[in-house]
Structure 1
Amino acid sequence: MAEHPAYPVGLRLTGRRVVVLGGGQVAQRRLPALIAAGADVVLVSPEATASVEAMADAGEITWKRRRYQEGDLADAWYALIATDDHDANTRASAEAERHRVWCVRSDDADAATAWTPATGHSEGVTVAVLTSSARERDPRHTAAIRDAVIEGLRDGTLVAPHHRTRTPGVALVGGGPGDPDLITVRGRRLLAEADVVIADRLGPRDLLAELPPHVEVIDAAKIPYGRSMAQEAINNALIEYAKQGKAVVRLKGGDPYVFGRGMEEVQALAEAGIPCTVVPGISSSISVPGAAGIPVTHRGVAHEFTVVSGHVAPDDERSLVDWPSLARLTGTLVVLMGVDKIGKIAETLIAHGKSPDTPVALVQEGTTAAQRRVDATLGTVEETVRAEDVRPPAVIVIGEVVTIGPGA
């Protein structure tokens, strides 16, 4: 048998009996995929790991708490033999052979009638890697190949074009705080499949250079607005490109719904009958402080953190922020888009009870190569911003957590 290559096949196990012998680490790794395939899984083992036991308690598998007995593989379509009893494994393997049940053995691949490939998934595609014969079996090598293929599909470096017609639409992708490695796997894949990308200034710009030449990249800040409001013009561009049958990605910094006006775009697309997918992103409100060594919460220091927009000053009638209430909180305050208003913000917080000695950190260009951190207090922050020439984009962190990180 070892002289011939294994024949790869995909088993459709929905509703079909699968018997697993042994409740240890092998079963713990293999059971989730069998459950996801819809198999009727019967586990035979006197003991099981905590995770396997939890699957049984949840009703995902049937657990017979005993050792293997002759007849356990009757009516099974597939068997996984993974006990620490070699003799029991051999007897079960022989029973599987008599009943023509495809059987995997964790202790002896040569004696098995089936092998488990190294598998991974990427948006509707399953990648399974097998060695060609038992003599050449190297699980680490096949797993490495699997990982390389899946990673390539997920990050867009391995692009497989769709040959079936895709439904045109728009994906609102949160690009994260700036470092291109911090975009989500799904966001990067959709970006690699896009025909048109409409990008914000604060999106991860380095990713745009990786796009194929045919992808049209549009700077949202440079869309000709005419008599339209900027956001209205962006909405119209999304709709028009989608109506042309193109896959459109709206690449935004951070998360689309955290001060990103993402819902306005979703609503405009819905009114136009354009399907839209929203891909969350890592918000700069937590990732940028973290990159600068600042935890927004810490045991015994801060039990809550509040994120506010500082794009309008506290005394501006358009402000929706309850600054007096924020001044009374003891946790962390994170201010986005507030560099040019930080003087008024600090003055207001102090006027409503915050100590002028409250620590403040400003993290400019967080998570990028240009990142820098400037520390101050509420009483000195306005002067510090001017003296240090702190410019947007910068995340402002106010509270005692500023003093406890390694960068303090």
Structure 2
Amino acid sequence: MNIDTGKVTLVGAGPGDPELLTIKALKAIQAADVLLVDDLVSDEIVKYAPPGARVVYVGKRGGCKSTPQAFIEKLMVMAAREGGNVVRLKGGDPFIFGRGGEEVEHLREAGIHVEIVSGITSGLAAVTALGVPLTHREHAHGVVFVTGHAHSDAQGPDWQVLARAVRDARLTLVIYMGVSGAQRIQNELLSALPGSTPVAIVQHASLPGQRHAITTLAQLYETIVREQLASPSVIVIGNVVSAAASASSSTAKSLAA
């Protein structure tokens, strides 16, 4: 049973571009008393918070010093029990690799009312920025979102099984947090996918500093090193990426003409 407290809203801030916020997300931010902000949320989005709101940065990024998850959950409960309208502002979507599920469970167990506002996930924004679909009637009958960074106590994805599924079911594979493990991911995916499989790596999707590279699975790790692509990046693998490769080739030809 919920006790008489404030509430917590888990808000997806999208991939970074403020114009990709939903109206519902914007309204939630503007009504916040306390804003707990993830590391990947842009300053332009935080500026929508009301002047009197308390903003607390609780960054979490792979490979960097992060705020412990237990501490973030404790902050949310404390702020809600003080009667505040608490917004947990997360990059992308709260329920796609955003630990939103863990936080909802903890808050409900504590008797806190929770609402969730969806956001555009970076895996979608990354390919959209390149003009590429995730699904296509001729090239991809579905899409798989997977993390390349497993929880310390959990076994990571079985890349060889995923490779066979991508090949046999004609799927697009979207990998979050996969740059640091790109060499191993590449080697294991090559067990079932041809080296010529198109790949896109997109860093800082939707932001002014966005960078990307179009390559093949056989050249994935080499491309990341050569182009100095780093986290946060999304890796997209599948035939739909060939559209981006064709567009890049056409642009290069027109510039050379």
- Which TM-score band (shorter chain)? 0.7 to 0.9
> Could you tell me how far apart the structure 1 residues matched to 2:235 and 2:110 are?
38
Residues 220-299 of structure 1 mapped to structure 2, 5 A cutoff: 220-221=58-59, 230-299=68-137
Corresponding residue for residue 187 of structure 2: 347
C-alpha displacement of 1:167: 6.2
> Which blocks of at least 5 consecutive residues in structure 1 are unaligned?
1-165, 223-228
Answering whether residue 213 of structure 2 is matched by residue 213 of structure 1, we say no
Residues 82-231 of structure 1 mapped to structure 2, 5 A cutoff: 168-221=6-59, 230-231=68-69
C-alpha displacement of 1:407: 4.4
Aligned 8 A contact 1:294 1:407 in 2: no
Aligned 8 A contact 1:289 1:395 in 2: no
Q: 1:321 aligns with which of 157, 163, 169?
A: 157
C-alpha displacement of 1:243: 0.8
Corresponding residue for residue 174 of structure 2: 334
Q: Deviations over 1:150-193 (max 9, x none)?
A: xxxxxxxxxxxxxxxx9611100011111111111111101001
Aligned 8 A contact 2:15 2:92 in 1: yes
Answering whether residue 219 of structure 2 is matched by residue 383 of structure 1, we say no
> Could you tell me how far apart the structure 2 residues matched to 1:395 and 1:362 are?
6
Secondary structure in 2 aligned to 1:340? coil
> Could you tell me how far apart the structure 1 residues matched to 2:32 and 2:153 are?
41
Aligned 8 A contact 1:180 1:205 in 2: no
Over alpha carbons, which structure has the higher Rg? Answer: 1
Answering whether residue 139 of structure 2 is matched by residue 308 of structure 1, we say no
Residues 385-404 of structure 1 mapped to structure 2, 5 A cutoff: 385-404=224-243
> Could you tell me how far apart the structure 2 residues matched to 1:185 and 1:194 are?
15
What is the letter of the counterpart of residue 162 of structure 2? Answer: L
Are the structure 2 counterparts of residues 317 and 275 from structure 1 closer, same or farther at C-alpha, using a change threshold of 3 Å? closer
> Could you tell me how far apart the structure 1 residues matched to 2:5 and 2:26 are?
19
> Could you tell me how far apart the structure 2 residues matched to 1:312 and 1:185 are?
33
| Equivalenced residues, count | 234
Q: Deviations over 1:181-211 (max 9, x none)?
A: 1111111101001011001011243111232
> Could you tell me how far apart the structure 1 residues matched to 2:91 and 2:153 are?
27
Aligned 8 A contact 1:292 1:407 in 2: no
Answering whether residue 203 of structure 2 is matched by residue 367 of structure 1, we say no
What is the letter of the counterpart of residue 272 of structure 1? Answer: A
> Could you tell me how far apart the structure 1 residues matched to 2:48 and 2:138 are?
44
C-alpha displacement of 1:332: 1.0
C-alpha displacement of 1:360: 0.9
> Which blocks of at least 5 consecutive residues in structure 2 are unaligned?
61-66, 250-257
Q: Which has the higher contact order (CA 8 A, sep 6+)?
A: 2
Q: Deviations over 1:270-299 (max 9, x none)?
A: 111111111111111212211122211122
Are the structure 2 counterparts of residues 323 and 317 from structure 1 closer, same or farther at C-alpha, using a change threshold of 3 Å? farther
Q: Deviations over 1:320-340 (max 9, x none)?
A: 423222111232111011011
> Could you tell me how far apart the structure 1 residues matched to 2:209 and 2:39 are?
15
What is the letter of the counterpart of residue 347 of structure 1? Answer: N
Are the structure 2 counterparts of residues 167 and 182 from structure 1 closer, same or farther at C-alpha, using a change threshold of 3 Å? farther
> Could you tell me how far apart the structure 2 residues matched to 1:391 and 1:267 are?
32
Structural RMSD (CA): 2.0
**Same amino acid, percent of matched pairs:** 41
Secondary structure in 2 aligned to 1:238? helix
> Could you tell me how far apart the structure 1 residues matched to 2:16 and 2:22 are?
12
TM-score normalised by the chain length of structure 1: 0.55
